[in-house]
Structure 1
């Protein structure tokens, strides 16, 4: 497909990204809960990943694996929507005439998309960590829900507490989002075939590998961020396993007490989660995109990416809409005369 891809509107890319985020969050929620508990370092996670699953099921039942999933989706939708839409938008600005990006270009567009998404949705992530780390039984829980948690944190710790660990998040998302999109675009080229010929399975494999690559690079930031978010003098026991004053100190104290690999605690659970997660995310993104391309009139089916032969694929959605209207008008005009 030569030229830049303008076939979807910003709003449509936004919905594609949001949809992808909600689908992959819900499917992978149990792994996310276990990973968060391991990173924060609660009592029940001492025995490793499988043990954590069993303990969690015994203590809090099956619903506990979707703990915080509603807020995760409320945050996930705008987060992935902004990230993908910003990525596509920046990609259009900086790609060459063939619509190709250099690896550094993909890295830059991915990173910027990530930063915009983090800033917009960070307070929700902070509250989600607090809700996940507390007891699932509301009679024993400090925060009774999403809105009460917001109110209580602002009341006790001030509004800026909602951005606790945000700096770490931004520093963490730059390599993570950048490396994910860079690897994804790079892997897409390795199949040696046009993008529209790729199957959902191939999108899934690319997403998995891109996610694993990016995750391993940026994981330590995620660990420190979770510890910063969970740390509160208002929760009995402080909520974390090491005491520290800020991001740098967090790195130092964690390495001092747990060794360098302490920064990768829970990384197995995380890779097992991140690979299908990124895979399902990119697969859902491409699937939703197919639906919109068909709806916009560029392809012959909502499930396949087969281009319509009577349509120029370099047009934007508005251009195609105008041209089809003119065609219909001419068609009607010829019939009358």
Structure 2
């Protein structure tokens, strides 16, 4: 087979970025509906400076008892929308960046290239989608009470409009710096680890025509989702604190990412920078397991119908 034929075959056996984006968005919808309560608990724990909540289960039971079970799904609309768009952008942009970093002769992608592509996808999603959606979500989640008429923000659209009116458009990008650091590092680790676990555990290589069973994808996704929260805990806590504070109320407690880290460390101790880690570990690895189980099946269906048949 000539070089031209090999090149044509390689192009045929590549999953297009739009299919990666579609698979990620479908996975994001399923993940959001399943795991929203864990995210609400994580946010409440990270914002708790007075020790109101004694732990994950106490926080969940307190919210349910005092505000109703539905309160555990506060912020679901922006969260589900944000996850759907985030995963579409993440998976699509990562596919584009991976293609750019592949060796032009062999078509292979190095681990270094995979990490850079993942970091780039994380930075892009953080700036375009994650930060404004999470600002709205966190403002909604931090509200306590049962009566809608007593709440400052009546819903995601009302919340976004109030933030823009009172704090300016940039108010929707509060906490952008730690969000970029968190998401970039997370995605660099996640894409690299997911590929590594697929190869080590199941002998599955990208676009080799083999489709993992959903339980196999869940195991690989779960394991790949563990490292990020541990490494990026301080960025996540700082992000939450910066997003939660309103710029319309006078002097800000936290002036920026580094000031917030120093202040939290001085006032609450080193362990406070990892507040909410356990609920993050309860949410992110299972979330990645769910997302990858769905995404791998969607891309697997494309592989079976198009790529595998094209190479027969």
Give the TM-score normalised by the residue count of structure 2: 0.88
Contact 1:36/1:132, CA 8 A, preserved across alignment:
yes
Task: Identify which of 117, 120, 132 aligns with 1:123.
Answer: 132
Aligned runs of 1:231-246 on 2, under 5 Å?
231-232=245-246, 234=248, 243-246=253-256
Q: Considering only aligned residues, what root-mean-square deviation do their CA atoms show, in Å?
A: 2.4
- 1:198 Cα offset (Å): 2.6
Contact 1:40/1:227, CA 8 A, preserved across alignment:
yes
Change (3 A) 1:249 1:173: same
Contact 1:224/1:251, CA 8 A, preserved across alignment:
yes
Count of matched residue pairs: 297
Number of the residue aligned with 1:325: none
Q: Is the counterpart of residue 255 in structure 1 residue 262 in structure 2?
A: no
Structure 2 SS opposite 1:52? helix
Range 158-167 or range 285-294, more displaced: 285-294
Range 151-160 or range 226-235, more displaced: 226-235
Task: Identify which of 5, 8, 19 aligns with 1:12.
Answer: 19
Q: Is the counterpart of residue 32 in structure 1 residue 39 in structure 2?
A: yes
Aligned runs of 1:305-324 on 2, under 5 Å?
307-308=308-309, 311-312=310-311
For residues 127-161 of structure 1, the C-alpha deviation after alignment (integer angstroms, 9 at most, x for no partner) is 11111111363112101112211221111111111
Number of the residue aligned with 2:284: 274
For residues 142-185 of structure 1, the C-alpha deviation after alignment (integer angstroms, 9 at most, x for no partner) is 01112211221111111111111111111221211111111111
Look at both structures and tell me which one has the larger radius of gyration over its CA atoms: 1
- 1:51 Cα offset (Å): 0.3
Distance 1:205 1:50 in 2: 25
Aligned runs of 1:146-157 on 2, under 5 Å?
146-157=156-167
Question: Which residues of structure 2 form unaligned runs of 5+?
Answer: 1-8
Question: Which residues of structure 1 form unaligned runs of 5+?
Answer: 299-306, 314-337
Task: Identify which of 80, 90, 93 aligns with 2:87.
Answer: 80
Number of the residue aligned with 2:77: 70
- 1:58 Cα offset (Å): 0.2
Number of the residue aligned with 2:143: 134
Task: Identify which of 111, 116, 123 aligns with 1:103.
Answer: 111
Number of the residue aligned with 2:4: none
Contact 2:211/2:296, CA 8 A, preserved across alignment:
no
Q: Is the counterpart of residue 291 in structure 1 residue 301 in structure 2?
A: yes
